Structure 1
Amino acid sequence: MIDYKDKAIHCVKDTVLPMQRKQFEECGCCLDEQYKRYGNTEWLFAKTIEEGHVYEIGYPACVCPDVASGKVKDVSHCECSRQSVLYIIGNLLPDKKISVEIIETVLGGAEKCRFKVTVE
């Protein structure tokens, strides 16, 4: 059984996390503001569904190097992406309870990967 949490942390801790943290701090440590300013790039989209509480985050294409290399084709591997979103937002908002659910993924047959994030 693959430990997707460890795999996700290893994948994003030195790359995506510092970049997201920089944006987050630039935006006054506010996800709503961050997603307004940075939520529409070629590699990430993020939008506020309910201010301070519910967000949709995703990728226009699968960004996983294991999938890109052809090594992985199983949709269960998308748990790794879910864990990476959870890890990043959990780091930005350490005092909040974060939950992330998969809406749809490229490996699952969708055009893009989409996740619902709830902050409590």
Structure 2
Amino acid sequence: MSNKIDYKNKAINCVKDTVLPLQKGQFEECGCSLDEQYKKYGNTESFFGKVIESGHVYEIGYPKCVCSEVLSGKVGSAKHCECSRQSVLYILEQLLPDKTITVKTIETVLGGAKKCRFRVTIE
């Protein structure tokens, strides 16, 4: 029996009723443009979004770890950051269902960095 964690479902359950509605509201308010959304909302205490190549490449992340399981001390492995990568992917797939989205982990707090950063490519 495998004890491999299903990070995709874990991520969906974490954000579907919290972060997703917030991001969806911002996205719609900004004319369904990630560029505009990240320009307006991409520099907060808990989230950042930066346009690298308009409409195509972004860097998004968190200035500090925001995972409740990590903050409570339940989890300490950098493997758990796959959950964050999957949550970013899930949210963007909901906002842009007709696009192919790739999310790569650049660095994470659990991996020893000062912040969590992900590179998003939209095709």
TM over 0.5, shorter chain: yes
Deviation by residue 1:23-49 (Cα, 9 ceiling, x = unmatched) = 000000000000000000110000000
Stretches of structure 1 that go unaligned for 5 or more consecutive residues are none
1:10 corresponding residue in structure 2? 13
TM-score (norm 1): 0.99
TM-score (norm 2): 0.97
Match of 2:75 among 72, 77, 80: 72
The root-mean-square deviation of aligned C-alpha atoms, in Å, is: 0.3
Match of 2:59 among 48, 56, 60: 56
1:26 partner amino acid: E
Count of residues in correspondence between the two structures? 120
In 2, Cα distance between the equivalents of 1:78 and 1:51? 26
Q: State the 4+ residue runs in structure 1 displaced beyond 2 angstroms.
A: none
Q: Once the two structures are aligned, what percentage of the paired residues are identical?
A: 74
1:117 corresponding residue in structure 2? 120
Q: Deviation of residue 62 (structure 1)?
A: 0.4
In 1, Cα distance between the equivalents of 2:45 and 2:76? 23
